[in-house]
Amino acid sequence: MDGVHVIERNDFDALLDALTRRGYAIVGPTVRDQAIVYDEIASSADLPAGWTDEQEAGHYRLRRREDEALFGYAVGPHSWKQYQLPAEVKLWRARVDQDGGLSNVTEPPRESPRYAFLGARSCELHAVGILDRVLLGGSHPDPADAGRTKDLFIVAVQCGEAGGTCFCVSMKTGPVAERGFDLALTEVLEEHRHYFVVEVGSERGADVLADVPHGEAVEEDRTAAGAVHARTASQMGRELDVTEIKELLYRNYDHPRWEEVAERCLTCGNCTMVCPTCFCTTVEDVTDLAGEHVERHQRWDSCFTVDYSGIHDGAVRGSAKSRYRQWMTHKLATWHDQFGTSGCVGCGRCITWCPVGIDLTEEAAAIRESEEGPK
């Protein structure tokens, strides 16, 4: 099934039904705890209809829209990382013998549901690909990591509204998804019509669409979708000059700006928790009160914690300055050397969810300006 198609708002639930019949657990945006988060959904009634998000550095609020858009927001605190790399995984459980050895070592099943991601944005699709390269591209990939995204069905949504901290245009990761999806939707709201312009990205996507009432897009539909894309691209709340940014940061390892940002940084790790590509983990062993059983868990960690760089003689990065510099330089520079791409997709979450509003685009610009002078 080629070409561009249209699904009317009244037929949208048929798309979800088609995915459910194929055995997918649908994960999409929903409103909870005064934020738009990702969770399993059953129908369009679970989506954040009529809600948008107001974002700035250190600021996130939901507010009502003047329409009933299903996807009229930017991105919330959740990313799809939680399904690629869960926040906590039990690796094994064992019995502690009297001599201190371990027996009856068992590994829990690590199979994931067959997921369909609904509402993934272009920047997030890039993040999914980047994180897959990190988790699966090494010499010892974990089969469980591969299993979590195996047979994944993605319904992307082209952004209809940029957030105040978005800069995906700078990173060339959005706002329009060009690949990595099975179906891509552009939501269009007109005075007397609410519909979705649909692009098919795979044979599976075509198969699902065949089960959903739809029509062929006419020129007016394509033009309306194009206007949505152009408007969003012009709304970026931030921008980042990435010209030779790796070399810029390498040259300025001892720049005084690192001290300035450290005076504000709380080293709380919020930026790494909401980042869709940060992948630091730690391993913890826990025992029951009787000391008869032990379990090993893998949990999210952060390069902002002192213990993360701890060795026998203390922490390698003991100061806030060294930890922020490590995070930002890795994200924008050394990631290129390790994985062949930037670790940043321009979603802006780290800016929004920083309690003190630290902005990596501002920090990079300050370092660049100190070399080049004000523009």
199/260 same-domain check? no
75/152 same-domain check? yes
Under the banding of pLDDT at 50, 70 and 90, the label for residue 2 is: low
Under the banding of pLDDT at 50, 70 and 90, the label for residue 308 is: confident
Is residue 131, in this structure, part of any structural domain at all? yes
- Strands 51-56 and 193-200 turn out to be unpaired
**pTM given for the model:** 0.93
Of 164, 150, 208, 158, the C-alpha closest to 179 is 158
- Strands 293-300 and 25-32 turn out to be unpaired
- Find the domain containing 176 and state its range: 4-86+112-233
Under the banding of pLDDT at 50, 70 and 90, the label for residue 141 is: confident
Count of structural domains within the chain: 2
* 8-state DSSP, 333: I
Of 78, 81, 84, the C-alpha closest to 36 is 78
159/249 same-domain check? no
Which structure tokens are listed for 120?
């993934």
208/258 same-domain check? no
Max CA distance (Å), the chain = 76
Is residue 100, in this structure, part of any structural domain at all? no
In whole angstroms, what is the distance from residue 136 CA to residue 134 CA? 6
189/333 same-domain check? no
67/216 same-domain check? yes
33/147 same-domain check? yes
Is residue 60, in this structure, part of any structural domain at all? yes
Which structure tokens are listed for 161?
């509204």
256/202 same-domain check? no
Which of residues 199, 233, 267 is at a domain's end? 233
**Strand, helix or coil for residue 37:** strand
191/320 same-domain check? no
Which of residues 201, 233, 265 is at a domain's end? 233
In whole angstroms, what is the distance from residue 3 CA to residue 27 CA? 26
Mean pLDDT of the chain: 94
Is residue 102, in this structure, part of any structural domain at all? no
pLDDT over 60 (residue 1): no
174/250 same-domain check? no
Is residue 48, in this structure, part of any structural domain at all? yes
Is residue 54, in this structure, part of any structural domain at all? yes
Rg of the chain taking only CA atoms, in angstroms = 22
pLDDT in tens, 46-83: 999 999 999 999 999 999 999 999 999 999 999 999 99
Which structure tokens are listed for 295?
């379990």
Which of residues 172, 198, 233 is at a domain's end? 233
Is residue 163, in this structure, part of any structural domain at all? yes
Would you list the DSSP string of 109-156? --PPP-EEEEEE-HHHHHHHHHHHHHHHSSSS--HHHHHHHTT-EEEE
Of 54, 53, 63, 48, the C-alpha closest to 187 is 48
Of 31, 134, 87, 52, the C-alpha closest to 272 is 87
Which structure tokens are listed for 203?
């044979």
253/217 same-domain check? no
Would you list the DSSP string of 256-302? THHHHHHTT-----HHHHH-SS---EEEEEEE-TTS-EEEEEEEE--
Is residue 289, in this structure, part of any structural domain at all? no
Under the banding of pLDDT at 50, 70 and 90, the label for residue 327 is: very high
pLDDT of residue 374: 65
Of 87, 93, 59, the C-alpha closest to 74 is 59
pLDDT over 90 (residue 26): yes
Asked if 74 contacts 163 with a C-beta cutoff of 8 angstroms, the reply is yes
226/308 same-domain check? no
